[in-house]
Amino acid sequence: TQLLEQSPQFLSIQEGENLTVYCNSSSVFSSLQWYRQEPGEGPVLLVTVVTGGEVKKLKRLTFQFGDARKDSSLHITAAQPGDTGLYLCAGEGTGANNLFFGTGTRLTVIP
Amino acid sequence: EAGVAQSPRYKIIEKRQSVAFWCNPISGHATLYWYQQILGQGPKLLIQFQNNGVVDDSQLPKDRFSAERLKGVDSTLKIQPAKLEDSAVYLCASSPNPGELFFGEGSRLTVL
């Protein structure tokens, strides 16, 4: 099993603040994905990063894949209450096409 | 386009009872996954199907869990007998391409 540790586990911030969530592993992944999950729903894919050092932007969200493809970060600029949710990173291992999910970061943005 | 459908949404049973969950993937998606998500944790893969064949079931507790996808479309996940630690959300996902997962809303199981 390839472990993905996310930090922080919980984060509560005021609307308009910036934040960064981290996803770390000792394993190398062929790709890494970020999902957002809201209560009572399944995870929804936000982005997939494939190349070491890759940076992708999705409106106010910036995702980066580490150079060694072992870690990733998610930065949110000017957080909005709609950003509230559980953020999950998931690494795709070599071999079978399955994903190993991280422990999750629960974000609450206070209006 | 219809998403991944799961039922039931909620189920409460007593320990040692059995339960079954159903999943209808997005049409045309060959790959189907069952994940277990315990409260406060990320989803853990239980089993992965490619059409009606099992690709990975290494983390499926086979003494009590079973899953099938007989016609390569719908799938069922069964737990018999259930234990307290099986309380979780069971997520089904389907994929048209490697790594591109679409999740259902999940089935929340409470074992008393």
* pLDDT given at position B83: 97
Residue type, B47: I
pLDDT, averaged in runs of 10, over chain B (112 residues): 92 97 95 93 92 90 94 94 97 87 96 96
Q: pLDDT tens digits for A11-46?
A: 999 999 999 999 999 989 989 999 999 988 999 999
pLDDT of residue B70: 81
Q: How far apart are CA A98 and CA B55, in angstroms?
A: 9
pLDDT at B40: 83
Across the interface, of B35, B42, B98, the residue whose CB is closest to A97 is B98
Q: Choosing among B37, B56, B57, B94, which should be mutated to test the A contact, i.e. which has the most A CBs within 10 A?
A: B37
* pLDDT the model gives residue B100: 83
Q: Could you tell me the two tokens for A93?
A: 């291992």
- CA distances B76 to A41, B32, B34, Å, are 19, 11, 9
pLDDT at residue number B74: 95
CA atoms of B19 and A53, how far apart (whole Å): 45
Q: Is a pLDDT exceeding 90 seen at residue A95?
A: no
A101 and chain B in contact, CB less than 8 A = yes
Mean pLDDT over the full length of chain A: 92
pLDDT band at residue A2 using 50, 70 and 90 as cut-offs = low
Q: List all residues 6 or more positions away from A2 whose beta carbon is below 8 Å from its beta carbon.
A: A25, A27, A29, A91, A93, A100
